[in-house]
Chain A
Amino acid sequence: MGELTEQRPDLGFVTLSAEHLRSLLVHLRDAEGFTHLVLLTAVDWLEEGQFQLTYLLSNREKGCDLGMRVMIERPADALVSMESIHDLWPTAETYQRELFDTMKFAEENFKQRPGRETWDPAHYMKQQLYPDSN
């Protein structure tokens, strides 16, 4: 785990490896009072061939935040993945879905919601009403 960078007295960032992330998140949530997942987002360091995932947690009792940076390789021709945390915070599912849509970054163990294959109503209704016609 990297050194803690203090951006403000109430905000710090730390860089860590992907395999340590989950255990640290659980520890921070259950033992240190960082119960609020403020956001989960990604920064695209295209030139450096890396994605930076930022998990920002907040301890609302103490009024301080901790951001965890996880740097993962960013191959140009393949999806990259990371362990999902939607079982720790259900709201993470929304963030992860957005990252998949915008960054083409996938979460391991993260199941996409089953739903329509297309958003074109005419095509959808044709599929539903006349499935054999295709």
Chain B
Amino acid sequence: MKPVPDSDFSLDTSSASTPAIDLASGKYLKLWQGPQHPGITGNMSLELTVCGDEVVEGRTHVGYLHRGFEKLMERRSFIQVFPIVCRVCVPEPDFNEYCYAAAIEELAGLEVPERANWIRTLVLEMGRLNSYMMYLGGQAGAFGLGVIGQWTTYVRDLMLDRFEELTGARIYHMFILPGGVRDGLPKGFAKRMEETLCEIERTLRDVKEVMFHNAVFTKRAKGLGRIDPELMERYGVTGPNARAGGVAKDVRSDHPYLVYPKLDFKPVTGTASDAYARADVRRRDALMSVDLIRQILAGMPQEGALMSKLPNVLHWKIPRGETYVRGECSRGEYGYYLVTDGSGYPRRVNVRGPSYTHAVALLERLIVNVNIADVAGLMVSLHTYPPEIER
């Protein structure tokens, strides 16, 4: 795989530094991957120009999933926004609830009870595990290892059972509200969660043996989509994508929130910064989440308030202000920029999902010189979810 010189990247495609691609020459072929394609995560499209079986240029196209969430939020009261925010990201919706709730609490001056913060942390780590299970199945499937997806989907389903008994819903929970959480843990929850965690650990051990020692996966994923260190900041790379390149940055430890300062953990890092290293970092990060959930269940107070007192949410006005609240989701930095104007509606809500940078500008950069057959593996390796690009 040839590295792309930095000077070759230009947004101005008419500049002399960009190699001319003459489609009429017969050397090149325009190939559309998506929006309906098994090699695309979610609904987006890649416009590939290929020479033989090698991509010489790739452009990302989004817009197939745009639902106008941010605009919808501007016409909803603060509490009415909650059924919307969780739908911004399907596999890991709880971060939207947390970031939006935390932004409101900051601007409205609400204190969150300690016990609610523990439960919020628990919910976020459960969501992270779910997201990683979905990722591992997708990553393996992109390289032809279909059985991994069956295993990880099974254990993800077990975690969805825990979500269901805790929140009443499997996918969109609407459990984290401004001021706290809706409910405490049901009776016997910790025991059932431990059984689920053991099953996840067992599956991750199998995944390590079958996927990470597999010759095909190793051969194809190693060296694929390597992110050079100097690209990390320029392209806003965060989360496991950055940590796989040795950047030990994790919002959970760098900007501590909820009860993470009380938990014992260190960011999981790699060195190679390629698809294999990213997968390995996520596998180990999932194991760390298992450990964090055990720490949370052991340290969580059993008694105490779950919600602070809220004003009448139907007539709730929040003073003019603005803030940015972030958290570390399974894909990197997830943040909400909230602007209020003193009325009963948000003036502006901007969702900053990690896929926004990873799946558009970064993917266009990394996709050059990649074999067509590896495009899907590359895209999945960045762990992108188009829904959070189109909000």
Residues in chain A within 8 A of chain B (CB atoms): 7-8, 10-11, 13, 35-39, 41, 43-45, 52, 54, 56, 60, 63, 65, 67, 86, 89-91, 93-94, 102, 111, 113-115
Contacts and interface: CB of A to CB of B under 8 A. Distances in A.
B339 A35 contact: no
B13 interface: yes
A93 B365 CA distance: 13
29 contacts: A7-B106, A7-B322, A7-B323, A10-B255, A35-B233, A36-B238, A38-B324, A39-B324, A39-B335, A41-B337, A43-B348, A56-B324, A60-B249, A60-B254, A63-B254, A65-B324, A86-B11, A89-B235, A91-B234, A91-B356, A91-B357, A91-B361, A91-B362, A93-B361, A94-B356, A94-B357, A102-B71, A111-B11, A115-B47
B9 A90 contact: yes
B144 interface: no
B335 A38 contact: yes
B317 interface: no
A7 B321 contact: yes
A65 to B, nearest CB: 6
A93 B324 CA distance: 21
B324 A36 contact: no
B360 A94 contact: yes
B333 A8 contact: no
A102 B71 CA distance: 10
A37 B236 contact: yes
Given A90-B11, A111-B14, 5 more contacts: A60-B249, A65-B324, A67-B324, A91-B234, A115-B59
Contacts of B59: 113, 115
A111 B12 contact: yes
B324 A11 contact: yes
Interface string B314-329: 0000000111101000
Contacts of A102: 71
Nearest to A37: B236
A90 B337 contact: no
A38 B235 CA distance: 10
Contacts of B11: 86, 90, 93, 111, 113
B350 interface: yes
Nearest to A114: B13
Interface in B106-131: 106
A8 B323 contact: yes
A133 B361 CA distance: 37
A41 B351 CA distance: 10
Given A7-B321, A65-B324, A36 B13 contact: no
Contacts of B335: 38-39
Contacts of B238: 36
A37 B337 CA distance: 13
A90 B235 contact: yes
B19 to A, nearest CB: 15
A114 B49 CA distance: 14
B233 A36 contact: yes
Contact of B350 (A39, A111, A115): A39
B254 A90 contact: no
Contacts of A60: 249, 254
Interface string B70-87: 010000000000000000
Contact of A38 (B12, B236, B348): B236
A38 B255 CA distance: 14
What 3 A-B pairs have minimum CB-CB distances, sorted nearest first? Answer: A35-B233, A43-B348, A41-B350
B348 A113 contact: no
B361 A90 contact: yes
B243 interface: no
B220 interface: no
B324 A113 contact: no
B156 interface: no
Contacts of B331: none
